[in-house]
Amino acid sequence: MSPSTTHHPLSTILVTGGAGYIGSHTVILLIEAGYDVVVFDNFCNSSRESIKRVEKIVGKPISVIEGDIRNRNDLRLAFNTYAVDTVIHFAGLKAVGESVEQPLRYYDNNVYGTVALCEVMQEAGCKSIIFSSSATVYGDPATTPITEDFPTSATNPYGRSKLFIEEILRDLYISDHDWKVVLLRYFNPVGAHPSGTIGEDPNGIPNNLMPFITQTAVGKLSCLSVFGDDYDTHDGTGVRDYIHVMDLAAGHVKALEKLPLFHEVMTINLGTGTGYSVLDMVKAFEKASGKEVPYCIAPRRAGDIAKCYADPSYAKKVLDWKASKDIEEMCEDSWRWQSNNPNGYTA
Ligand code: NAD
Ligand code: UDP
């Protein structure tokens, strides 16, 4: 796509954080659906290599602006260069433990960054945003499955940054009903593009379960610590709603399609509706990969909850979207990515 000219009947989407894990997978589906895409990323937690690989998958170059969402001039460059209709806003820091140690950095990057983004969007007359929220905003839910009207709370600065941003975007809509706002609350994304060429590439030792499992299976880590086996769940280990990243990506394309029809802020769970325990995941992964995952039972991790899984029926109703990939495919695709790229994007 050449700057300032949109040759396609569909619109131009600015994808902040488009080089990251969920963003890169979403960019593929957006391009396949016919949208013009501009990636805006400062590469603080991703690499240009992911974009190169996405270009290979879609068979065409991708417009990229290297910039920071906290820098209004970087943002203005994006809006002045391209006729952006909608922003899909993935950019943010996401490590819970780090957010406890560096709260100001998290509020600056995530909250202030989103405020700056919305200000420049407003300046440019672009008033449509799809935001990456998280199931973490449900805190420790009283029951499961979780519907969107459950009370929200946060136990750490990362979760609080998501809650604050949700409220800021709701206030923005109250101030000006021309805004279209969709808040997507993701459950636990796992898996990778079926090509095995892009996937999750965490820095250092992974915090999340699936990359820890795959790095153990590939021999980079020696043993998985299962955080607690005395929860009130079917086998005592924590239960989560793991969702294939391609399903999650598809949810964004649906949200984009439906956006013009929405006349209120939409808050939508993206999950499968099924909960699996840590040990369920280990077993499923061993079956899909043929690799053993050595594990030991360790103490509970501070801040963890027993069970968290979605009621995904609202997403079905308003987005006509439903997750379609099962735990086997999640494990197979995670493994294909990890085994083909033992060091992620680093050669
Ligand atoms: P990721 O770290 O892989 O991707 C985030 C991208 O944003 C990275 O490419 C990073 O370089 C970029 N970025 C960060 N700060 C930026 C800034 N100030 N300016 C420009 N770019 C910036 O993470 P992900 O897993 O793809 O998550 C995407 C979004 O979804 C995040 O907002 C995250 O909080 C949210 N989310 C993720 C999960 C999960 O488990 N992965 C769950 C719920 C919600
Ligand atoms: N978990 C684990 N060992 C690990 C990482 C995670 O036992 O090394 C457990 C964790 O306690 C939780 C589940 O796996 O029950 C999912 O954790 P993750 O950090 O991936 O996602 P969360 O739901 O906590 O955001």
- The 3-state secondary structure of 152-187 reads CECCCHHHHHHHHHHHHHHHHHHHCCCCEEEEEEEC
Number of domains, the chain: 1
Residue 304: inside a domain: yes
Residue 295: inside a domain: yes
User: Domain with 156 in it: what CATH number?
Assistant: 3.40.50.720
pLDDT of residue 160: 98
Q: Is the distance from CB of 66 to CB of 46 less than 8 angstroms?
A: no
In angstroms, how far is CA 314 from the centroid of its own chain? Answer: 19
Residue 346: inside a domain: no
Among the options 106, 158, 186, 242, which is catalytic? 158
Residue nearest to atom 44 of ligand 1 (CA): 134
What string of pLDDT tens digits covers the 347 residues of the chain?
Answer: 444 443 434 689 999 999 999 999 999 999 999 999 999 999 999 999 999 999 999 999 999 999 999 999 999 999 999 999 999 999 999 999 999 999 999 999 999 999 999 999 999 999 999 999 999 999 999 999 999 999 999 999 999 999 999 999 999 999 999 999 999 999 999 999 999 999 999 999 999 999 999 999 999 999 999 999 999 999 999 999 999 999 999 999 999 999 999 999 999 999 999 999 999 999 999 999 999 999 999 999 999 999 999 999 999 999 999 999 999 999 999 999 999 999 999 97
pLDDT of residue 8: 39
Query: What is the spatial distance between Cα 347 and Cα 335, in angstroms, rounded to a whole number?
Result: 18
Residue 2: inside a domain: no
Query: What is the spatial distance between Cα 122 and Cα 108, in angstroms, rounded to a whole number?
Result: 20
The Cβ of residue 191 has, within 10 Å, a number of other Cβ atoms equal to: 27
Residue 241: inside a domain: yes
Residue nearest to atom 12 of ligand 2 (CA): 238
Query: What is the spatial distance between Cα 346 and Cα 18, in angstroms, rounded to a whole number?
Result: 18
* Boundaries of domain holding 117: 12-340
Q: Which atom of ligand 2 lies at the shortest distance from residue 134's CA? A: 25
Q: Is the distance from CB of 50 to CB of 26 less than 8 angstroms?
A: no
Residue nearest to atom 29 of ligand 1 (CA): 90
Task: Show the ligand 1 pocket: residues with CB < 6 angstroms.
Answer: 16-17, 19-23, 41-46, 68-70, 90-94, 109, 113, 132, 134, 186, 188-189
Residue 217: inside a domain: yes
The structure tokens listed for 279 are 């040990």
Residue 28: inside a domain: yes
Looking at all shown ligands, the one closest to residue 295's CA atom is: 2
Whether 231 sits among the annotated catalytic residues: the reply is no
151-264-243-212 Cα dihedral, nearest 10 degrees: -60
Tell me, using a 6 A CB cutoff, whether residue 209 lines ligand 2.
yes
**Among the listed residues 344, 312, 81, 341, the one whose alpha carbon sits nearest the alpha carbon of residue 185:** 312
Q: How much distance in Å is there from the Cα of 17 to the middle of ligand 1?
A: 6
Distances (CA, A) of 249 to 31, 244, 286: 12, 9, 26
Residue 234: inside a domain: yes
